[in-house]
Amino acid sequence: MESVSQVTKQPMGTGLNPSNIPWFVLFFDLVVVAAFSQTAKMYQANPTWVTSAFVAGCIMLIYSIWAVTTIESLVSAVETWPHRIIGFVQMSAIILAALSLGHGKGLQNAWGFAALSVALGCSAVLTGLHRDAWGPRNSHLRRRVVLLTFASLIFFAGAWVSPSLTWGGVEFSNLVFFAGAGVTIAGALTLIPQLVDSSSRVRAHVIQERFGLILLIVLGDSFLLLLTSVGTDGAIPQPAFFVASVVLVFAIWALYFPALAETEISTQLGRSYARLGAHFLLVLSSTVAIVACTWMTKTPTAELLRISDEGTWTSLPLASIAGAILWMTLLRDRRLSAPAVVHLVGVVIISTLAILGIPADSMQSYGLLLAAVGVLCIQALLAVLLTRKAIT
C-alpha cells in the first residue's frame, strides 16, 4: 500500500478505494474536527440555550463545508498544486472562523464573517475545478457553485455589519449568519442527488469510509482534550467525569463502528438525505457531549456550583447520540429489529434524564449526566452482543 505522501489520484475508471485517498483529504479532516471542538467551547463562555442553538448552527455550517470539499476531492480525477493551495487557504479560514466563535463573541467579530466568506469561496472554486469529474450531468454542480458563491457573498457583507445593529430586537449579525448557513447547507445537499446517480456508485464505499473517519477523529480528539485540560494540573478535579469521558468515547465507538459504519449510501434519494442527517446529528452530539464531559473533568466543584441553572450541561447531547444511532439502525434494518428496540429504550431513558436535568440545580444536573453516560454504555454493550449474536 502506498504511503499517504505518495498517494496520487487514480483515473476515473479504476474507482476509488481507501488506499488511494489523497493526503489533503486526511489533513482536512483533522482541521475540521479541531474547528468542531473549538466551536463547541463557545457554550462555556456564554452557557445558555440560545448559545446551544448557535453552536449547532456553526457546526452544521462547518460540516457542510467539510462534506463539499471532501466529496469533491474524492470524485476528482486529478489533484494539482492549485487544488492544494486553495485547500490550505480554506483550512486556514476555517480555523480563523472557529477561533472567532470560540471566544464567545459569535460572528459579531468581522474576522469570523470574512473567514467564512473565504472558506465558502474556496469551496465554490474547488467545485468548479472538479466539474468534469461528475460526468455530463452538471445541473446539481452548477447549482452548488451558485449557492456556495451566494453564501460567500452573504458572509462577506456580514463582515461590514455593525455588532450593535439590531432588527426586531435580534442582532442583525445573527440573522446574516443563519441566512448564510442556510444557503451553505442547501448547497451541500446538492451532493446527494449526484452521489445517488449510478455513475458515482463505485465510490459509495469510499465516501462512507470518509463519514466514518470524521467521527473517529472526533472520538480521538477527546483524548487530546483530556490531556490538554488536566495533563498540566497534577490532579483531576472531577475523577468521575474523567472516567465518563473515556467511557463515552467507547460507547459511541461501539454503537457506530461494529455495524452501522458499513452501511453504504442508499440508491434512494430520500434515504440518502436521511442517512446524511443522522450522521451529522451523531457528529454534532458527540462533539458537544465530549466537550461537556472534558470541561467538567477539569472544573473544580466550587466553580461548578457558581454556574447558573440555565447554563448547566444536561444529558441532551447524549439523548441526541442515542437518537442518531436509532435513526441509522432503522434506516439499515427497515423495521423495529432487536437492536432498534434497544436503541429506542435508550433514547427514552436518556431523554427522560435530560428533561429532569433542565429544572434541576447544577450538581443534580451533572449527576443525571453521569447516569446518562452509564445508560449509553449499557446500550452500546447490548448492541455489540446483539451484533455478535446475529453474526454467529
Q: How far apart are CA 52 and CA 140, in angstroms?
A: 32
Q: What is the model's pLDDT at position 258?
A: 79
Q: What is the model's pLDDT at position 379?
A: 95
Neighbouring C-beta atoms of residue 332, cutoff 10 Å: 18
pLDDT tens digit sequence for 105-138: 444 568 889 999 999 999 999 888 877 767 666 7
Range with lowest mean pLDDT among 170-174, 243-247, 316-320: 170-174
**Taking 80 as the threshold, does the pLDDT of residue 67 lie above it?**
yes
Q: What is the model's pLDDT at position 4?
A: 38
Q: What is the model's pLDDT at position 308?
A: 52
Q: What is the model's pLDDT at position 34?
A: 86
**Taking 70 as the threshold, does the pLDDT of residue 83 lie above it?**
yes
Residue among 322, 193, 324 nearest 266 (CA): 193
Residue among 278, 106, 127, 157 nearest 208 (CA): 278
**Taking 70 as the threshold, does the pLDDT of residue 245 lie above it?**
yes
Provide the residue type at 270 as one letter: G
C-alpha 61: how far from chain center: 9
pLDDT tens digit sequence for 156-187: 998 887 767 767 666 777 888 889 999 999 99
Give whole-number Cα distances, 360 to 306, 308, 309, 316, 354, in Å: 14, 11, 7, 14, 10
pLDDT (average), residues 284-309: 77
Q: What is the model's pLDDT at position 10?
A: 38
Q: Give the residue extent of every domain in the chain.
A: 19-196, 204-391
Rounded to two decimals, what is the model's pTM?
0.82
Higher pLDDT, 359 or 248: 248
Say if CB 150 and CB 185 are below 8 A apart: no
Q: In the block, which residue shows the cell 449510478?
A: 198
Q: What is the model's pLDDT at position 344?
A: 95
Residue 282 pLDDT class (50, 70, 90 cuts): very high
Highest-confidence segment of 35-39, 113-117, 156-160, 359-363: 113-117
Q: How many CA atoms lie within 13 A of 343 on its CB side?
A: 28
Say if CB 200 and CB 134 are below 8 A apart: yes
Say if CB 77 and CB 129 are below 8 A apart: no
Q: How far apart are CA 308 and CA 312, in angstroms?
A: 7
What is the H or E stretch that residue 166 is in? strand 166-167
Average pLDDT over all residues of the chain: 80
